[in-house]
Structure 1
Amino acid sequence: MDGPHGLGVTAEDFGLRGPRGWAFRGVDVDAEPSSLIAVEGPSGSGRTCLLLALTGRMKPTEGHARVGPCELPKQMAAVRRFSALAHVPGVTDLEPALSVAEHLRERALLQRRFGGPVRGLLRPRQERLAEARLRVDGALAAAGLDQEALPKGSRTAVRDLERLEALRLSVALALIGRPRLLGIDDTDLKLSDAERTEAWALLRSLADAGTTVVAVCSEAPEGAVVVSTESAAAPARNQDRGQEEPDDHDKETVDALAETGRA
């Protein structure tokens, strides 16, 4: 798989206000291309909303941000084209009954149909299939997912995957599109210390290979560009007396995302 070229991410006084108050406010980011960016904070502090805003999926309401050459919120559609999401509950959920192979085939088909220029569909069928195989194999290798090591190989259903295996599958599916910016939510949720170490090693390897990674977590790893939502969100919410504090994954977040256009 050809290495992507990561994008720098910057933001100043970045904020997003929803129907129930500020999700986050006053966030600053300054990350070089191909950085590992850790969005750190407790659940409910606006981490997921910030992730979705930086990847062009939710429209910010104040401040400025730039992802590569694109400004937010003016060029959200452009940011969506070169970014991808992995493991965002309510947005990129895996289907428990489908197998690993079925998920990969579906994503490869969608990539062939919608992920490139229309003239690509006119290429010979064997050429298109070979390209799809290269993309899938490259994505699996980058995500560190060995299908042969799974209980039933590629026929293993998602419901039978361990948490870290499911995380790797979600990352592999996102990488099939060869994004320059990868967003991943709940990176360290319900993982043991050893599994957390593996997860962060995976994301660091993706950044080292050229993809800028934005990862939501409760505790940032050493060496990451850390963006905290805790200090920025608390004062903002206190200004909205009587507002119920939203959770990262509540229905409002998913509904707001749907209104922006696409995941």
Structure 2
Amino acid sequence: MDSTPHGAAVTAAGFGVKGPRGWAFRNIDFTAGPGSLIAVQGPSGSGRTCLLLALTGRMKSAAGTAEVGGLPLPKKKAAVRSVTALAHVPGVAELDPALTVGEHLRERALLQGRFGGSLRALLRPRQERRAAARALVDTALTAAGLDLESLPKGIRTSVRDLERLEALRLSVALALIGGPRLLAVDDTDLKLSDGERAAAWKMLHGLAAAGTTVLAVCSEPPEGDEDVVLVRTGSRPEPASPEDAPGTPTATPDGPDATDTADTTDSKGGEAGEGSQGGPSGSDGTGSADSTPAGAPAADGHDDEEGAADALAETGRA
């Protein structure tokens, strides 16, 4: 097992997820070391979010192999969930627009203290526990670059009143409270201006430089950035056999796996209550860590989009 204390190494070879009506994505191949910034690029509907969920143990793969921090997928899904966290994923890890920034932070710190810490930490005096929770929140906010004093009503600002970049920073901060080795962020650049997009990538670069491996879904990665491991989704090879044709039901994403029985660890970062947000995607696709341009959608891309939509629906996102 990977013994790196902070970021988790991530590898994938021929990795794929299949829904009831076809492939969400397949043939994903890349290698990223601990503390890497991994950009998953592709058009909406190309399987980006399915890949993010599969690599964090929230969706069961149907082809190939992958490892996160030395933990194989899908065999060790529960263990992978315990060392990963989600941010900006609607329907899975989503901000509540009716709550304030402070309410989100307090809820996440409470969950972390109750379920993410050791028994010894729970037995500490209340004052010590509160101080530790404040330190976790402050560290996460600093890392995400969210200045509470700059918000319209400070910590009492409602989520619905946040700018898009501020909401992204809050989502990331909430995920970081759990101290994940891999942080997965969906739709990083969704509806951001050029300046906001640059600020978002600067934040993610900073997190990776500090030791946390970051997996970020995007429409466009930073140009000319050699420090980014680029994974592309979007094109699909012809089926190698009738079993590979779209529409063939196979593995059920995000369902309990019989090989998970040896893993009793639950998600430290919060499997369903991560407290963050994002944008949906999903279709048939392939990807790699090289600079090969993304391929054009196949003629039967509609069937592939249905396959990805089905895979996401089984996680409760459709």
Q: CA deviation at 1:248?
A: 10
The 5-angstrom pairing of residues 215-254 of structure 1 reads: 215-221=216-222, 222-223=225-226, 224-231=228-235, 233=236, 235=238, 239-240=245-246, 244-246=303-305, 250=309, 252-254=310-312
Match of 2:205 in 1: 204
Deviations for 1:188-226, whole angstroms, at most 9, x for unmatched residues? 110011110000000010000000000001112223100
**Aligned equivalents of 2:136 and 2:98: distance in 1?**
24
Q: Which has the higher helix share?
A: 1
Specify the SS of the correspondent of 1:240.
coil
Structure 1 residues 114 and 14, CA, compared in 2 at 3 Å: closer, same or farther? same
Q: CA deviation at 1:120?
A: 2.0
Q: CA deviation at 1:19?
A: 1.0
Letter in 2 for 1:244: D
Stretches of structure 1 that go unaligned for 5 or more consecutive residues are none
Structure 1 residues 85 and 247, CA, compared in 2 at 3 Å: closer, same or farther? farther
Match of 2:35 in 1: 34
TM-score (norm 2): 0.76
Whether 2:231 is the aligned partner of 1:172: answer no
Letter in 2 for 1:167: L
Letter in 2 for 1:228: R
Match of 1:102 in 2: 103
TM-score (norm 1): 0.91
Letter in 2 for 1:70: L
**Aligned equivalents of 1:247 and 1:191: distance in 2?**
27
Match of 1:191 in 2: 192
Deviations for 1:109-143, whole angstroms, at most 9, x for unmatched residues? 00011112233211111111111000000000000
**Aligned equivalents of 1:144 and 1:208: distance in 2?**
14
Match of 1:93 in 2: 94
Letter in 2 for 1:14: F
Specify the SS of the correspondent of 1:177.
coil
| Count of aligned positions | 254
Specify the SS of the correspondent of 1:42.
coil
**Aligned equivalents of 1:109 and 1:100: distance in 2?**
14
Q: CA deviation at 1:247?
A: 6.9
Q: CA deviation at 1:249?
A: 8.7
The 5-angstrom pairing of residues 48-197 of structure 1 reads: 48-197=49-198
**Aligned equivalents of 2:105 and 2:174: distance in 1?**
7
Please tell me whether the aligned partners of residues 83 and 181 of structure 1 are also in contact (alpha carbons under 8 angstroms). Answer: yes
Q: CA deviation at 1:246?
A: 2.7
**Aligned equivalents of 2:47 and 2:207: distance in 1?**
25
**Aligned equivalents of 2:81 and 2:117: distance in 1?**
14
**Aligned equivalents of 1:182 and 1:20: distance in 2?**
30
**Aligned equivalents of 2:185 and 2:306: distance in 1?**
17
**Aligned equivalents of 2:100 and 2:200: distance in 1?**
22
Deviations for 1:30-64, whole angstroms, at most 9, x for unmatched residues? 11110000001011110000001111111101100
**Aligned equivalents of 1:245 and 1:73: distance in 2?**
22
Cα RMSD (Å): 2.1
Please tell me whether the aligned partners of residues 40 and 226 of structure 1 are also in contact (alpha carbons under 8 angstroms). Answer: yes
Q: CA deviation at 1:254?
A: 4.3
Q: CA deviation at 1:97?
A: 1.0
Deviations for 1:229-260, whole angstroms, at most 9, x for unmatched residues? 113x4656x9327763437995x44443359x
Please tell me whether the aligned partners of residues 50 and 308 of structure 2 are also in contact (alpha carbons under 8 angstroms). Answer: no
**Aligned equivalents of 2:145 and 2:237: distance in 1?**
37
Match of 1:256 in 2: 314
Structure 1 residues 247 and 125, CA, compared in 2 at 3 Å: closer, same or farther? farther
**Aligned equivalents of 1:128 and 1:8: distance in 2?**
31
Please tell me whether the aligned partners of residues 43 and 248 of structure 1 are also in contact (alpha carbons under 8 angstroms). Answer: no
Specify the SS of the correspondent of 2:205.
helix
- Determine what percentage of the aligned residue pairs are the same residue: 65
**Aligned equivalents of 2:21 and 2:42: distance in 1?**
19
